[in-house]
């Protein structure tokens, strides 16, 4: 009826012949392992969990990036004793996080001799090749999307993927989904209502 009653007394006051619902119809996919059935996508459970882990890896990159974009190398000798702990501290404290995304790393060296041979040399070396340029596992994630979508037998167009489709391909996918997915689902739903709900109502 679309009306909401606070309790059974209010329901009886509105219609003495009516009563609270005591049953429900569960549209479950049967499984001997559970009386509640199983999800339709249970066969792709590992793909769903893998995509979740992939998203976390890409998200945490922004807070845990540890490769600087540029290194300032001061050579001509040996690395000073204080440089190693300073490098470790710099990576831990001054590289991670979005605010430190463009900081550079400075490496100092003690002079190894005297004269021209002992002069220090300064070199700027980019480290962008060692940095992650884009999100990881993109092909893996796309395969997982296809696996989960195929478990529902839905073509890519009806999953929101409209890339590289022309009109004829789109119409073919819509016809396939209507004939092979939606119409069988409607038939099953109508059969259950006709045999269970309407039959009991006379």
Residue 111, H or E segment: strand 109-111
pLDDT band at 89 (very low <50, low <70, confident <90, very high): confident
pLDDT tens sequence across 144-183: 999 999 899 988 888 888 777 888 988 999 999 999 999 9
pLDDT band at 84 (very low <50, low <70, confident <90, very high): confident
pLDDT tens sequence across 9-55: 888 888 888 888 888 888 888 889 888 899 988 999 999 999 999 88
CB 62 within 8 A of CB 99: no
pLDDT tens sequence across 111-128: 655 555 566 676 767 766
- By mean pLDDT, which of 3-7, 82-86, 167-171, 190-194 is the weakest? 82-86
CB 134 within 8 A of CB 78: no
Pairs from 110-116 (Cβ < 8 Å, separation ≥ 24)? 110/77, 110/78, 110/79, 110/80, 111/76, 111/77, 112/76, 112/77, 112/78, 113/77
pLDDT band at 195 (very low <50, low <70, confident <90, very high): confident
- Residue found by looking up tokens 């220090």 in the block: 120
pLDDT band at 79 (very low <50, low <70, confident <90, very high): low
Q: Which pLDDT does position 107 carry in this prediction? A: 66
CB 120 within 8 A of CB 74: yes
């Amino acid at each position: 009826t679309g009306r909401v009653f606070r309790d059974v007394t209010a329901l009886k006051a509105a219609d003495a012949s009516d009563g609270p619902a005591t049953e429900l119809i569960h549209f479950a996919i049967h499984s001997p392992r559970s009386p509640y059935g199983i999800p339709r996508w249970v066969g792709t459970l590992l793909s769903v969990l893998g995509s979740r882990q992939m998203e976390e890896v890409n998200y945490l990159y922004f807070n845990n990036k540890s490769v600087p974009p540029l290194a300032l190398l001061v050579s001509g000798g040996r690395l000073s004793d204080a440089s190693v702990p300073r490098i470790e501290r710099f990576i831990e404290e001054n590289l991670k996080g979005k605010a430190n995304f463009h900081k550079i790393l400075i490496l100092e060296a003690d002079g190894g001799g005297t004269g021209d041979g002992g002069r220090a040399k300064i070199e700027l070396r980019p480290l962008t090749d060692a940095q992650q340029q884009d999100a990881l596992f993109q092909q893996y994630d796309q395969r997982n999307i296809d696996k989960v979508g195929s478990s529902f037998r839905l073509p890519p167009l009806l999953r929101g993927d409209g890339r590289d489709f022309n009109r004829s391909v789109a119409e073919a996918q819509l016809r396939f989904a209507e004939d092979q997915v939606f119409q069988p689902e409607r038939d099953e739903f109508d059969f259950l209502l006709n045999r269970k709900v309407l039959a009991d109502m006379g």
